[in-house]
Structure 1
Amino acid sequence: MRTDLLILAGFVAVGGYLFSQVWLSPGDRILAHSYNDHYQFEWFLAVDTYNITHLHNPFFTDLQNASVGVNLMGNASVLGLALPLLPITLLFGPSVSFLLAVTLGFALTAFGWYWVLHRHLCAHRIAAVLGGGFAAFAPTIVSHGNAHLNLVSMFLVPWIVRFALRLFRTTRPVRDSVILGLLIAYQALIGEEILLMTAMALGMFVIVYAFPLLPDLRTMVRPFLTGIAVAVGVSLPLLAYPLWMQFAGPRHYDSLGGLAYVTNDLNTLFEYSTTSVGNLGGTLTSTNYAEENGYFGWALLILGAGLALWLWRDRLVRTVAVLGAIGLAFSLGPDVGWYFERTGVPGPWKLFVELPILDSMNVGRFTFLTVVALGVMLAVATDRIIKASADGGVKRAGVPLRLVWAAALAAALVPLVPLPLPATGRPPVPHFFTSGAYKQYIAENHTVVPVPALKATGDMTALTWQMATGMDFRMPEGYFMGPLGPDNIATNEPPPGPVTSVLLDVAKTGKAVQLTSAQQADMLAELRKWQADAVVVYRVEALPQLRETLDPLLGSGRQVDDVWLWDVRALTRE
């Protein structure tokens, strides 16, 4: 057990290394390639904490998108992480909670796979560390550390896999099925995408693994299916209301539509990620820095193919090798691409792209299956070689087998060694909010209209104003997944209304807008709908133009502390 704890500490240290640039000052720094997702996940942790401590519905809020609200179950709200982190969020704030969550997300995922490989597959400890470490810290996964807390928090997946496969031979089917059901329910509150992918992988695993055993299939599959039925029976009642909220509740959407856009170009499978030493100073060849879903490098893919051939008689290796290949193929999407160009060659996913639920999957992430498959194959091969050369007498062409294997691993894995994820400074929260001065102008649960306006592809720093006050007021519009149009297709950026359109116009052009009477009426109506108390400007170059635009409508703005403020209570509470 002491050794296991040391290994866990080692994985935590690697996780800390990945985020070391942010750990230097969590409240002042942010992941440079997060595309506003860093702010968004901090906000999710903050709003989850607020809902729990105020006994509000944990699956819905109007703290963003004021007067309309956000369906949190339809977003990556990571309630399953916010619950255990609640004391940290209350004591140190969501920035520390986020950083702790992503660090431990990597570390506990690595440790989970290590534990399953070592304790349940009986792999040598060194082999299990290698396999578990790769499954969590491969470039494919590390790239998502830039932005996706829900995707890197996969620490329940090894245990879901372990208890699901244990159903084939368990002596305690009820206990194991109940535990599996609880794990499934909790994983759904961390990340449903990972849960769906895990379920698909387990289904494919069972089919491939059991295929050679067709004569005994009935006796094998019956206890497995019975156990799965019990697990579903445990998890569904727990998830009934959250799933209703997601698929039928207020502000739900029916499909991701164009947001399910992530596929991998074929070239990215053989290259090196910008998160690894193999691409020092290299260019980005993926959709963005948080979606480098391939990037295994030629050497590792060649090594993986060699291991599959060498260990093909091992049913476990054969099965995971097939799953890994399926993951690679599915990740190419319905139309194979090459350096951002469509080739016209159909990919295997074309068969599934229009199926319900599957039509909303970001299939580029199917390489997560390949990562785990390669981790298992590396662990099994390392275990074989350690045990075969235990006496030191096994050699190949006069060279010790361990040395040959170490060289092969170095060639394949050294270029994949992760780099610390880059960070940058974040704008400070205005003293107007941190000092509590805002309370003189903004009533509890009323709305602040921030400038810059909240916009997914723009500036989302105003969310930190809200978090700094303990979620004491609401904000309009923002960055979240919500329905759009008659088809109820998801968008992560609601169309700007009258007020935001004007604010964005001034910011874009640097020129004042002469408001028409119709615009003025629309803006006042929207401010009243939001229950807005103040329009607050902080560090905006176009302040003179904003004053020229807003003063005729809202009255003269004035500086209060370190912000510029229009007090609109007299206009919105008529």
Structure 2
Amino acid sequence: MTREETPRPQPRPRAALALVAYLILAVLLFASAWRAPRTLAIGGGVDTPQFMWFFRWPSFALLHGHNPLVSNYIDFPAGMNLMWNASMPLVGVVLAPIELWLGPVFSFNLVTTVALALSAWTAYLAILRYVRSQVGAAIGGLVYGFSPFMLAHSLGHPHVTLAFIPPLFLIVLDEMLLRQTRPFWQSGLILGVLAGVQLVIGEELLATSVIVAALGLIILIGLYPNAVRARLAHASRALAIAAGVFAVLAAVPLAVQFAGPQRVPGILQEQNIFVSDLLNFIVPTRMQALAPAFLTRISERFTGDIAEWTAYVGIPLIVLLAFLVVRQWARPIVRFAALLGVMLALLSLGPTLHFNGRISHIPSFVLGLAFPLLAAFLPARVMLYTLVGGWLALIKAPVLYNILPGRLMLFAYLLVGLLLAIFIDTYLSRSVGRRRLLVAGVVLVALLPLLPHWPYDHTDVTVPAYFTSGDVTQIPSGSVALVAPFSHGDEATAMLWEAASGMRFRMPEGYGFIPGPAQDPPMTATQSIMVMVQRGEPSPEVTDSLRQQILGDLRSLSVQSVIVGPMANEDRMVSFFTDVLQTSPTQTDGVYVWPSLNP
């Protein structure tokens, strides 16, 4: 294996300028929410208020002597193990001053915006190790940080869009495994720290990063066994240091996750739903600007939901990348990036092939049977065995079987950005005149299908004034309040209200993974009726026997207050609790409150 020529170090002002440019683009993308960032949230859906709660809890917990990795302020009394719930504890700690000053909605918008810009920037820095073209690296970073993957998950999944560490992993692993210009202990120390930080930002990204690194190493060995063997001693020592550092940093979080309360066994979500449909690579969703209705009607048939339809690359960009790979196959970085990118795309297909929203019974690894046909150009057996092994790991391996296959496309976009930067560096930067215009036009045509739909989706999440005013102090601090709309797998608004109140109270409700078959707290008669009401379904008449049963539920849950906020079927919910509690509520600051209950 020959090393790629190392580009000259770039001036720091250029890197700073790139970061500023990415931040401006991110703010412009989400401008619809930034018009009123304390009441309008980027994206929407049930995950958004959940993450707003996640961002508020760690600082509150640390300031009040609670464990930031578990909480019974939701799903009281048993609570929730937050290490199983993508809670991003480090982000919550860093956000503490902003949370206290500007509130949870602003904090969520800030994280969602910075996530794209920072991810694009670290990708730009990583790509600069392989190209001389600043423009190429900047566009490559843009492809990663503003990819269809990022656009889709910005609807409410900051734990996977705050993806600035994977490109840093690439930089460190490149140094550790290939270049080896620094002492092994430095690379190992940095890798261990990065892994520890990623664990408490987003554990899923750490797990997928490990999988991608393992796949990449196997492919590298298949391509250049002698070169890898020559570097093995240095790399092994560095990895040992990294493992030791990570073990120290990760000991407490992992102990809480796997030995703490409310740990969640088994498979968390359907394995064959959130995957890449074969058509998704060439069919856009409504998240793209160039998405005619006849194509979005196809994408809307894909399994899962729009936040997980993330594989769109587009025919023009696929053709450009194929041209580059064929013409530059002799270059090690092109060969490696292409093979790893194809591997990740295949694994993102999930357990079985999906086509046009239909789930087949054909294992997705069968597409790897094409590798032997290309044995003259690539390590066919290594590719096939690696694909089958990765496929089995994602289906059968404990913990790893909880990874959603479609989310591997994040790393594929990093490789797409790298290959596109190499194309620009090879053909655009070294062209002049009409040829330069032609190449620039080709790049533009390849990128146009990835343009995001604008304005980006946003949701009004105005918090009732009650929760941010002094009136909320009528709820005893740390007491249990039952809040409507009831929070469960379909609804999490009350979690935002609790966060906005400064965690004034606990709730016997919440949305997240807990032991059991659903993302819901154990349902009582009270909670079941609340869900019926807020969904507009018929609910039983409040008879004396039902009233006594509900009062018993409230006693068993230690409920001292009931709050009904703005919601669908609000009048029905108020009438329901008025009948049960046989007293009228206090109406104040946009909510109905029954305080100081003794059910």
Residue number among 20, 39, 42 corresponding to 2:31 in the alignment: 20
Residue number among 389, 410, 416 corresponding to 1:374 in the alignment: 416
Change (3 A) 1:421 1:187: farther
Q: Is 1:151 matched with 2:151? A: no
Residue number among 193, 208, 214 corresponding to 1:203 in the alignment: 214
Is the Cα–Cα contact under 8 Å of residues 574 and 592 in structure 2 kept in the other structure?
no
Q: Matched residues in 2 for 1:27 and 1:508: separation?
A: 27
Deviates more, 1:36-45 or 1:430-439: 430-439
Q: Is 1:452 matched with 2:493? A: no
Q: Matched residues in 2 for 1:405 and 1:196: separation?
A: 38
Structure 1, unaligned stretches of length 5 or more?
394-398, 486-490
SS of alignment partner, residue 515 of structure 2: strand
Aligned sequence identity (%): 27
Change (3 A) 1:495 1:308: farther
Q: Matched residues in 2 for 1:56 and 1:97: separation?
A: 22
Aligned residue number for residue 488 of structure 1:
none
Is the Cα–Cα contact under 8 Å of residues 454 and 477 in structure 1 kept in the other structure?
yes
Q: Matched residues in 1 for 2:545 and 2:314: separation?
A: 59
Aligned residue number for residue 74 of structure 1:
84
1:477 deviation in Å? Answer: 1.6
Change (3 A) 1:570 1:152: same
After superposition, what is the alpha-carbon deviation per residue over 1:342-388, rounded to whole angstroms, capped at 9, x for unaligned? 23221126533122222111001121222111111011121112453
Q: Matched residues in 2 for 1:421 and 1:70: separation?
A: 36
1:570 deviation in Å? Answer: 2.0
Q: Matched residues in 1 for 2:138 and 2:510: separation?
A: 42
Change (3 A) 1:171 1:493: same
After superposition, what is the alpha-carbon deviation per residue over 1:313-351, rounded to whole angstroms, capped at 9, x for unaligned? 111111110111111111111110112112322112653
Number of residues paired by the alignment?
A: 554
Change (3 A) 1:23 1:163: same
Partner amino acid, structure 1, of 2:141:
G
SS of alignment partner, residue 30 of structure 1: strand
Q: Matched residues in 1 for 2:288 and 2:88: separation?
A: 27
1:245 deviation in Å? Answer: 1.2
SS of alignment partner, residue 484 of structure 1: coil
Aligned residue number for residue 433 of structure 1:
467
Aligned residue number for residue 49 of structure 2:
39
Residue number among 563, 566, 577 corresponding to 1:536 in the alignment: 563
Aligned residue number for residue 411 of structure 1:
445
SS of alignment partner, residue 482 of structure 1: coil
TM-score (norm 1): 0.91
TM-score (norm 2): 0.87
Q: Matched residues in 1 for 2:148 and 2:571: separation?
A: 47
Q: Matched residues in 2 for 1:110 and 1:547: separation?
A: 48
Q: Matched residues in 1 for 2:289 and 2:576: separation?
A: 50
After superposition, what is the alpha-carbon deviation per residue over 1:253-306, rounded to whole angstroms, capped at 9, x for unaligned? 122343443112111111123222221554443432211211111111122222
After superposition, what is the alpha-carbon deviation per residue over 1:97-148, rounded to whole angstroms, capped at 9, x for unaligned? 1111111111111111111222x33431111101111111111221111111
Partner amino acid, structure 2, of 1:38:
T
Q: Matched residues in 1 for 2:23 and 2:429: separation?
A: 28
SS of alignment partner, residue 274 of structure 1: coil
Partner amino acid, structure 2, of 1:165:
D
Q: Matched residues in 1 for 2:569 and 2:147: separation?
A: 44
Q: Is 1:115 matched with 2:118? A: no
Partner amino acid, structure 2, of 1:539:
P
Aligned residue number for residue 182 of structure 2:
171
Aligned residue number for residue 277 of structure 2:
265
Change (3 A) 1:229 1:455: same
Q: Matched residues in 2 for 1:250 and 1:412: separation?
A: 50
After superposition, what is the alpha-carbon deviation per residue over 1:21-58, rounded to whole angstroms, capped at 9, x for unaligned? 111111221234x3221111111101122113223211
After superposition, what is the alpha-carbon deviation per residue over 1:42-81, rounded to whole angstroms, capped at 9, x for unaligned? 1110112211322321101111112111111111111122
Q: Is 1:132 matched with 2:123? A: no
SS of alignment partner, residue 263 of structure 2: coil
Q: Matched residues in 2 for 1:554 and 1:539: separation?
A: 20
Change (3 A) 1:350 1:238: closer
After superposition, what is the alpha-carbon deviation per residue over 1:469-511, rounded to whole angstroms, capped at 9, x for unaligned? 21111112211111105xxxxx323353221112223344565
Q: Matched residues in 2 for 1:436 and 1:500: separation?
A: 28
Structure 2, unaligned stretches of length 5 or more?
1-11, 366-389
Q: Matched residues in 1 for 2:60 and 2:25: separation?
A: 31
Q: Is 1:482 matched with 2:514? A: yes
Is the Cα–Cα contact under 8 Å of residues 344 and 412 in structure 2 kept in the other structure?
yes
Q: Is 1:190 matched with 2:186? A: no
Q: Matched residues in 1 for 2:546 and 2:133: separation?
A: 71
Q: Matched residues in 1 for 2:570 and 2:404: separation?
A: 41
Instruction: Report the RMSD for the aligned CA atoms in angstroms.
Output: 2.2
Aligned residue number for residue 396 of structure 1:
none
Residue number among 340, 347, 353 corresponding to 1:323 in the alignment: 340
Change (3 A) 1:544 1:296: closer
